[in-house]
Amino acid sequence: MKIKAGFLTENKVDVASKLILFILSPFLGFIYSLKRVNTKSSFIIFFLFSLCFGMCFMPMKNPEYIDGMFYQNYFIERSNEIAENPEMEFKDFLESSVIAEKDYYLDTMVFIVSKLSNNYHVFFMCIAAIFSFFSLKTFRYIVKEKEFDNSYICLILSYLFMNITIFNINGCRFWTGYWIAMFALFKIFRDNKYKYLLLLAVAALCHASLWLLIPIVLLTIITKKFNRIWTILYFVSFFSGQAIILLIDNVKEYLPEFLLYFTENYVLEDYTKPIGTGFWIIGEVFRYIVDIFLFIVMILFINNKQRIIADERTKNIFALLLSIMTFSNFAATIPSLGVRFMIFSYPLIAYIWLLCMKNYKKEYSAFFMLVPIYFFMRIYSTITYYINTLGIDFFIASPIYLITKYLF
């Protein structure tokens, strides 16, 4: 097969194999397509697999996945309103919403899909279509580079890049906005197409917290040549963020009641959980391992920044990475914000590593090949999420059977 910058050329046998396996089972087609992810046929399979996932998604199978359960019930409730009042206009629909005061994406999708069907499986399939469209459009940036060769290290980089998987339609507002924003960020900082700042605003309509990205991006564009300053700010943020959390935890008992409520429910929500089972402790250990991994990666990037900024493809991406990591560290005092924004760094890290570090030093590659160990708990959780929100038929049945069962 001829390797070039772009999708890998493929033979008809490989394409036919993917198609046959997908017809037998979308899951089998997906697994086989991982063999060569940088092909057009694999991307088609990934997209169709995502549609099947959305169609088969059953949050009520395990109510602890509260976001998905909320969206399911919200869709059923609101679609019933439209069925009872088919003449309702979109403006009136938004005015009666408890969500549209901050975000418009969910209610827009509910309104459109409700006109077609009151089946929540159709709703999640449409959500999956938008989610996967932008995630795969972004994923193309890494797989179409000439350095991507379907090796083990490239599969690891693919995992890191696509860490937010299709399961995250469970939290469709933020994570759909995440992939729309991620696509816009690559357009802005990889392709220098600043008109995509408008797409960042669209992403913010999915989840209000994403409005914070716009000032971060604008500040990065203005100051992208000052890497030394951003490097200093990164180290300050890394150590001060952790110090602030410890300080608040130590003085919280002296705070007024209204501040105590805020700190316990937002600032310390992920840091003051009572210790439960040993499995919980293992989860916390691996969370810190991931933090250490990210810190080491940043050290390696900073030590090799001349190599990174010498490549036009990664120069601006590196500036964006520094600013996002700095913001995420400072925002770590609000875990639901800091942790989510930290995940914006994963595709940026994967992209820079592929282009600048993959073939640079053997010890660097050895360090990165252990990513599955560092992310063990995240990988375990992802597998658990799939099992707990899907029926066994998703893994073994044909798409025709799945369509018949879930849509009709």
Based on the fold, state whether residues 345 and 364 are members of the same structural domain: yes
In a domain, 182, yes or no: no
Residue 246: which pLDDT band, with cuts at 50, 70 and 90? low
Based on the fold, state whether residues 22 and 156 are members of the same structural domain: yes
For residue 81, give every residue at least 6 positions away whose Cβ sits within 8 Å of its Cβ, in sequence order, or none: 88, 93, 96
In this structure, the chain runs to a length of 408
Three-state secondary-structure class, residue 392: coil
Based on the fold, state whether residues 362 and 402 are members of the same structural domain: no
In a domain, 185, yes or no: no
Based on the fold, state whether residues 160 and 230 are members of the same structural domain: no
The answer to whether the CB of 110 falls within 8 A of the CB of 99 is: no
Based on the fold, state whether residues 26 and 101 are members of the same structural domain: yes
Phi, psi of 261, rounded to the nearest 5 degrees: -60, -45
Residue 275 has pLDDT above 60, yes or no: no
Residue 53 has pLDDT above 80, yes or no: yes
Q: What is the pLDDT of residues 15-52, one digit of tens each?
A: 999 999 999 999 999 999 999 999 999 999 999 999 99
Residue 321 has pLDDT above 70, yes or no: yes
In whole angstroms, give the CA distance from residue 374 to residue 293.
7
Q: What is the DSSP letter of 255?
A: S
In a domain, 53, yes or no: yes
- Give the residue-averaged pLDDT of 299-312: 94
* Among the listed residues 140, 215, 138, the one whose alpha carbon sits nearest the alpha carbon of residue 178: 138
Q: What is the DSSP letter of 99?
A: S
**Axis-axis angle for helices 120-143, 345-352 (nearest 10):** 30
* Among the listed residues 382, 337, 330, 345, the one whose alpha carbon sits nearest the alpha carbon of residue 174: 337
Report the predicted TM-score, pTM, of the whole model to 2 decimal places. 0.90
Which of the pair, 332 or 406, is modelled with greater confidence? 406
In a domain, 38, yes or no: yes
Based on the fold, state whether residues 333 and 403 are members of the same structural domain: no
Based on the fold, state whether residues 357 and 397 are members of the same structural domain: no
In whole angstroms, give the CA distance from residue 369 to residue 153.
6
Residue 262: which pLDDT band, with cuts at 50, 70 and 90? very low
In whole angstroms, give the CA distance from residue 182 to residue 198.
13
When the pLDDT of each residue in the chain is averaged and rounded to a whole number, the result is: 87
Residue 277 has pLDDT above 60, yes or no: no
Place of tokens 């991307």: 43
DSSP characters over 36-64: G-SSHHHHHHHHHHHHHHHHH--GGGSTT
Residue 282 has pLDDT above 80, yes or no: no
Helices (H), 90-189: 90-95, 105-114, 120-143, 152-161, 172-189
In a domain, 135, yes or no: yes
Based on the fold, state whether residues 383 and 399 are members of the same structural domain: no
In whole angstroms, give the CA distance from residue 25 to residue 47.
14
Report CA torsion sign: 374, 378, 381, 382: negative
* Among the listed residues 44, 340, 353, the one whose alpha carbon sits nearest the alpha carbon of residue 179: 340
Q: What is the DSSP letter of 168?
A: G
Based on the fold, state whether residues 236 and 111 are members of the same structural domain: no
Q: What is the pLDDT of residues 64-85, one digit of tens each?
A: 656 889 899 999 999 999 988 8
Tell me which residue range forms the domain holding 21: 12-171+393-407
Compute, in degrees rounded to 10, the torsion defined by CA atoms 282, 164, 57, 177: 130
In a domain, 188, yes or no: no
Q: What is the pLDDT of residues 90-134, one digit of tens each?
A: 988 888 887 766 789 999 999 999 999 999 999 999 999 999 999
Percent of the chain with pLDDT strictly greater than 70: 87
Residue 63 has pLDDT above 80, yes or no: no
In whole angstroms, give the CA distance from residue 164 to residue 142.
15
- Give the residue-averaged pLDDT of 265-278: 47
In a domain, 176, yes or no: no
Which of the pair, 354 or 99, is modelled with greater confidence? 354
In a domain, 1, yes or no: no
Based on the fold, state whether residues 309 and 382 are members of the same structural domain: yes
* Among the listed residues 115, 120, 73, the one whose alpha carbon sits nearest the alpha carbon of residue 90: 115
Which of the pair, 399 or 264, is modelled with greater confidence? 399
Based on the fold, state whether residues 313 and 402 are members of the same structural domain: no
Structure-block tokens of residue 356:
């600048």
Q: Count of domains in the chain?
A: 2
Based on the fold, state whether residues 22 and 149 are members of the same structural domain: yes
Residue 258: which pLDDT band, with cuts at 50, 70 and 90? very low
